[in-house]
Amino acid sequence: MSGVKEVSIDLLGNSGTVIHNDTCTIPSLIATIEDIGYGAEVATTELLIASPTDQHKRSVSIHVAGIFCPACPEKLNAYLSSLPLISYTPLSKYTHTTTVVYSPGTMNIRRILESLSQVSPEYYPSVIKSQSLAERGQKIRQREVKVLQWHFVIAFLFAIPTFTIGILGMVLLPHHNAFKRDIMTPVWGAANKGTIALWPLATVVQFGIGRLFYERAFSSIRPLIRRLFSSTSRHASPSRLTWRSFLSFGSMDLLVVLSTTTSYFASIAMLILDVRSSPDVASVGTYFDSCVFLIMFILMGRCLEAYAKSRTTDAVSLLGSLRPETALLIDNVPSLPASISKSEQRNSESPKTDIPKTGTPSTISVPVDHLEIGDHIVVPPGSLPPTDGIIIVGHTTFDEASLTGEAKPVVKAPGDEVFTGTINKSGAITICVTSLGRETMLEKVISAVSDASARKAPIEKLAERLTGMFVPIIVYLSLFVVAIWLSLALTGKLESIEHDRPGGKVFFALEFAIATLVVACPCGIGLAVPCATAVGNGIAAKAGILAAGGGEAFLGATQIGIIAIDKTGTLTVGKSQVRDESWSDHVIDREILKQAIAAVEGQSTHPLALGLVESLGSAKRVHIVNTEEIAGRGIKATLKTKNGTVDVRFDILIGSLPLMDDYDVEVSVTEREKILSWQRQAKSVVLVAARLSGARDYTASGMFSLSDPPRSDAPRVVSDIKKRGIDVEMVTGDNEITAQAVAMELNISPDCVHAGVGPEGKG
């Protein structure tokens, strides 16, 4: 289509994205989509390159309840015109909805709603929540499943008497059976009771239940019909009839309609021949039962397909359910202008940041739709942030597994970002809103899942090319089959045909054409490939796997030869416990040193750090001056404590043996042997060295062994991966000896262990 640059279709979400230029209009897009047999409506439109002024606007639709007289809209419109809005759509006695556009720096949605409600007590304004594509798609799928289920149930009920009469009574039962003799008795010419009974059953199923297929089949050939009988399409651009038009029409529903309709009317013709024959002539036989069974089985397949998609996309929709509906807004705190960047919000010294650092601020519960960028909201412990924001008050840890898949809690402090969909695990915090609606990280993840399903694997692209020509080819092939067999029959090449049977040659040839259409109806590659890929994307999302490449990524995954897995928290439980500790000469009091270790490691989320903190307890007598993380090796910190009334500063090193060697810390032979012994037991070793501030050398002060046992299912997972012909390699920042000990427990080859790898090496 002229002007269309890119098209991506989300099979799961019943939605699509079209990138086009000004030469292509939205009405022409909708008309073209409807021309090829699908309904369409516009969900959202947006400019790819928005002007700077557009970026600082917000558009909200508001419904006003309580409009009962012609004067009400005029009164409300007059009030809206007095507000500092950029624009608004007027209310009328027929339309009680207005769309207001405003700049969040000078107005906010809460003030607009409050102002409208104050015009008159009977007015009740409310924000119309815009449906996301995922929500629209879910409703369409639910409706589709319900329609297919009802059609299938009714078809199944009609299939029961059809099977009893047409298969059981007329075919399977022995000739001497009373039921068979009864239904095979001619009652109308040569037509027997069974055939007469099957006729109304097949008619109801064919044109009642099967109406669904007729409607869809007609929609699929409507463009071809328009081209045949009109020189122009319904929209402005001419639609010419070319030879390609006869190789790109129809759908699977057209094959269902052609096969069942041909069977039905062939059966009607056979019934007429039977009626015109005498009772002593053998019945020609009909395909009424085939019509019923074919429609029932295809409906069953469609139901299973729709149900699988619905269940799968429910998993994707669960991501959307992580959004809270309300927020605790700090009262009487003005919003920051929307134009202020996130970095400016972090560093802002405006009066807005003058929130009490202690105590509980005054809050009101408001719908999330009423928030503005720059608002301050409170996120209590155990709750989810209603939107993305930056912490301005409080310290806490967050579970971000829903977004990152990482189960380790993440420490958050003022200046750090938090995201909706994650869980505040510990303390209450105050955040400044930075993103709303589709701009939040959760919405981007949901969008990424939907976009992934639109990325097609090569087999899907092949399926599309084949199915594009499949239906026309099958139709032409069926006509060719009829012509071949009919010509053979009429020229006497097939002597086995009953020449004296009325219509024998014609119906004989027609049977092959019907068989061709029927066999081609449930096209495996056309239906199974897209459905399998869509369901696969949904199952992956449910398991926390985001395949950014969609079907292409899944196909590439089948060619994986090596999987590298991080040890800590993936192959192991990720929760370390102190098993042994050893103390040596120290320059700092042992209790002070323990508290210093707990204080420094308390700022880290590494499992070893969490294990140490859990063992050593809280730090009450020390204060951290500064810390420096040494990637992959440990941490260096300066702390202070009081010795009576005197402040004492000291430095500590916490980390691995290589870290100690880097700082020339003297570790005795006995201690090194003990370290080696612990490592052989699959334990991780953390060493501690200390010095008074101003001193030159660190002194080895203590060491801990911690164990992080393998997950209970890790050996089975590793074994299953190996059975698929994929090598498993373990990557860890731990030392070689401990890594090899863990690998031995998991049956990972020693050659496949990569120890001492820092975070940059794992990336």
Assign residue 344 the CATH number of its domain: 2.70.150.10
* Mean pLDDT in residue range 309-334: 70
Are 592 and 700 found together in one domain? yes
Does 737 share its domain with 702? no
Residue 214 is assigned to a structural domain of this protein: no
**Does residue 66 lie within any of the structural domains?**
yes
Residue 262 in any domain: the answer is no
- Both 694 and 717 in a single domain? no
Is residue 666 in some structural domain?
yes
Q: Which of 262-276, 302-316, 603-617 has the lowest mean pLDDT?
A: 302-316
Q: Are residues 664 and 746 in the same domain?
A: no
Lowest model confidence (mean pLDDT) among 7-21, 212-226, 665-679, 726-740:
7-21
**pLDDT-wise least confident of 183-192, 347-356, 536-545, 596-605:** 347-356
649 in any annotated domain? yes
Instruction: Identify whether the C-beta of residue 392 lies closer than 8 Å to the C-beta of residue 350.
Output: no
Among residues 553, 560, 616, the alpha carbon closest in space to that of 583 is found at 616
Could you tell me the CATH number of the domain that includes residue 751? 3.40.50.1000
DSSP string, 654-698: EE-HHHHHHTT----HHHHHHHHHHHHTT-EEEEEEEEETT-SS-
CATH of the domain at 605: 3.40.1110.10
Q: Is residue 92 part of a domain?
A: yes
Residue 735 belongs to domain spanning: 563-570+712-762
Q: Say if residue 633's pLDDT is above 50.
A: yes
Place of tokens 């006695």: 93
Which tens digits make up the pLDDT trace of 138-164?
777 788 889 999 999 999 999 999 999
In a domain, 673, yes or no: yes
In angstroms, rounded to a whole number, what is the distance separating the alpha carbons of residues 13 and 158? 33
* Domain stops at, among 129, 148, 167: 129
Could you give the number of structural domains in the chain? 4
Whether residue 445 sits in one domain with residue 432: yes
**360, 375 contact by CB (below 8 A):** no
Nearest to 510 by CA among 488, 473, 472, 483: 483
pLDDT band at 381 (very low <50, low <70, confident <90, very high): confident
CATH number at residue 61: 3.30.70.100
Contacts with 173 (C-beta within 8 Å, 6 or more apart), sequence order: 179, 180
Last residue of a domain, one of 423, 450, 477: 450
For the residues 755-761, what does the mean pLDDT come to?
A: 73
- Asked if residue 737 and residue 698 are part of one domain, the reply reads no
% of the chain exceeding 70 in pLDDT: 76
Is residue 488 within 8 Å of residue 494, measured between CB atoms? yes
Mean pLDDT of the region 509-516: 82
Residue 740 lies in a domain: yes
Asked if residue 120 and residue 62 are part of one domain, the reply reads yes
Question: Domain boundary at 129, 159, 189, which?
Answer: 129
Cα distance from N-terminal residue to C-terminal residue, the chain:
43
Euclidean distance between CA atoms 394 and 412, whole angstroms: 8
- Tell me, yes or no, whether 648 and 729 share the same domain: no
Report the pLDDT value the prediction gives residue 202, as an integer from 0 to 100. Answer: 94
Looking at the fold, whether 638 and 698 belong to one and the same domain comes out as yes
Give the three-class secondary structure for 515.
helix
Indicate if 86 and 106 belong to the same structural domain. yes
726 shares a domain with 677: no
- Each residue's pLDDT tens digit, 435-461: 888 788 887 777 766 666 556 666 656
What is residue 572's DSSP assignment?
A: B
pLDDT level of residue 763 (50, 70, 90 thresholds): low
693 and 733 together in one domain: no
